[in-house]
Amino acid sequence: MSLYFGIPILLIAAVLQSVLLESVQILGGRPDLVLLLVVTWAIIRGANEGAAWGFTGGIFCDLLSGGTFGLWTLALTAVGFLAGQPWVHALGPTIIRLALMSALGTLFGHGLLLGAMALLGYSVNLARDVQTVAGPAALLNFLLSPFTFTFLVWFHKRSQPRWGGQGE
């Protein structure tokens, strides 16, 4: 399990998301750093570790949110699980499926988050939220995915000496 370095990475990412990225506007939105790290790690290491990173990152995001505790944990665990599924390998070379899953995972994660919020009684304006928050976040995560991949592969190589199998 990779959580011994995953915990500090996800914790710092969640804090950066709270203190820095929330005030940043790029292309009309802002990237979702923790979600991007979870998707990337799930692509690299599979569903088990993806879900574990999603669960951990979700707890950190929930601790930095005034919303109901568990919203982010549920959404990111599901995203990590989804992005690590074997069928994702059919989407093409690693960098392509990473970019695709970053965008799809962001939309899926935000969709789950909004659905859970709606079930819990929060006011949700789906069309506006997708247009102004989830859509731009998906685009930015799509563009940023090669950078997080390079960053996390570095950790992966150090925690997984046999890296390089299966044509990667």
Partner 1 sequence: MRRENGQWLPWVLLVVALLFLILVEAGAFGPLESLLGYIISPVERGVSTVIELLGGLGQSARDVQQLQQQVEDLQRANATLIQENFRLREFKAENDELRRKLNFVQDNPTYSYVGADVVEYGCGIFPCATVVGEDTNPYLQYVIINAGSRNGVAVGMPVVTSGAALVGRVARVSRNLAYVQLINNPQSQVAAMLQESRITGMVVGTTEGTLTMIDILPDEKVLGGETIITSATGGLLPRGLILGQVESVTYLESDLFQRAAIRPAIDFRRLETVLVITDFPRVNLEELEGAP
Cα–Cα distance, 34 to 15 (Å, whole number) = 10
Stretch that binds partner 1, among 71-79, 101-109, 139-147 (CB under 8 A): 71-79
Which residues ranging from 26 to 65 are in contact with partner 1 (CB under 8 A)? 30, 34, 43-52, 54-55, 58-65
Cα–Cα distance, 114 to 51 (Å, whole number) = 19
Which residues ranging from 88 to 117 are in contact with partner 1 (CB under 8 A)? 89, 113-114, 116-117
Dihedral sign from CA coordinates of 98, 103, 12, 75? negative
Q: Is 73 a binder of partner 1 (CB under 8 A)?
A: yes
DSSP characters over 69-103: TTHHHHHHHHHHHHHTSGGGGGGSSHHHHHHHHHH
Would you say 25 or 151 has its CB closer to partner 1? 25
Provide the minimum distance between the beta carbon of 109 and partner 1 in the complex, in angstroms, as a whole number.
11
> Distances from the Cα of 76 to the Cαs of 15, 27, 79, 124, 162, in angstroms?
16, 23, 5, 19, 28
User: Interface mask (CB under 8 A) for partner 1, residues 124-163, using x and -?
Assistant: xx--xx---x---x----------------------x---
Would you say 70 or 146 has its CB closer to partner 1? 70
Rounded to the nearest 5°, which phi and psi values hold at 29? -150, -165
Cα–Cα distance, 110 to 151 (Å, whole number) = 24
The residues that touch partner 1, with contacts defined as CB under 8 A, are 11-12, 14-20, 22-23, 30, 34, 43-52, 54-55, 58-74, 77-78, 80-81, 84, 86, 89, 113-114, 116-117, 120, 122-125, 128-129, 133, 137, 160, 165-166, 168
